[in-house]
Amino acid sequence: MRNRLALETAPANLPQPVTPSGKDRLDAAIERAVSYLKSVQHQDGYWLGELEADTTLESDYIFYLHVLGRFDRKRVSKLAEYIRRRQLEDGGWNIYFGGPSEVNATLKAYLALKLAGDSPESQHMVRARRCIRQLGGLERTNSFTRFYLALAGLIGWQMVPAIPPELMFLPRLVPINIYEMSSWTRA
């Protein structure tokens, strides 16, 4: 009743619908997007775009090379230099440009640099350890980081959260089902 009354008493000078119509605006936006993509497409038909994020990919790569026994000193040296350059003032590493230090990214960067041969007593490593502690340490890490550390033998498997297998049988309509979890947690 209240909504009907509000509509009946609304001012008569409401703004008119904007032209062009929504479909026309969508079509124009699609045309602009296609035009842009064509303008940046390489003559061989592909697009070149860098994947820039945090340093966890580089940290993970150093770790995986170590685990697989394919540690290439020259490649790892370049990766480690990139990780060092991205260290923040407080000693940590962030998960997005301009963001604050994050415990998982910081712990992974620390481990990667240690595997790369950086001395735990060097200034940047001391600052990283201090930052990890300030961010809550191992207790504040996510399941993926714990899995990573257990795989390296640095923590026991009992510290890695396990998903009960019974969750696999719950339907999607149940609030707690595997599809409400991140893909890396399900894996």
Residue 3: pLDDT band by 50, 70, 90 thresholds?
very low
Which overall architecture, per CATH, does domain 56-155 show?
Alpha/alpha barrel (1.50)
pLDDT tens per residue across span 124-161:
999 999 999 999 999 999 988 999 899 989 999 999 98
Query: 55: closest CA among 14, 31, 18, 85?
Result: 85
CA angle 187, 49, 73 (to 5 degrees): 65
Q: What is the rounded average pLDDT for all residues in the chain?
A: 87
> What local confidence, expressed as pLDDT, does residue 39 receive?
93
Q: Give the least confident one: 17-21, 104-108, 125-129.
A: 17-21
Quickly count: other Cβ atoms within 10 Å of residue 123's Cβ: 9
Indicate the residue type of 26. Answer: L
Per mean pLDDT, which range of 30-39, 53-62, 171-180 is the poorest? 171-180
Compute the distance between CA of residue 153 and CA of residue 127 in angstroms, rounded to an integer: 24
Cα–Cα dist 72/117, whole Å:
12
**pTM > 0.75: yes or no:** no
* Amino acid 120: pLDDT: 97
Q: Which two tokens stand for residue 54?
A: 């945090």
* Identity of residue 153: G
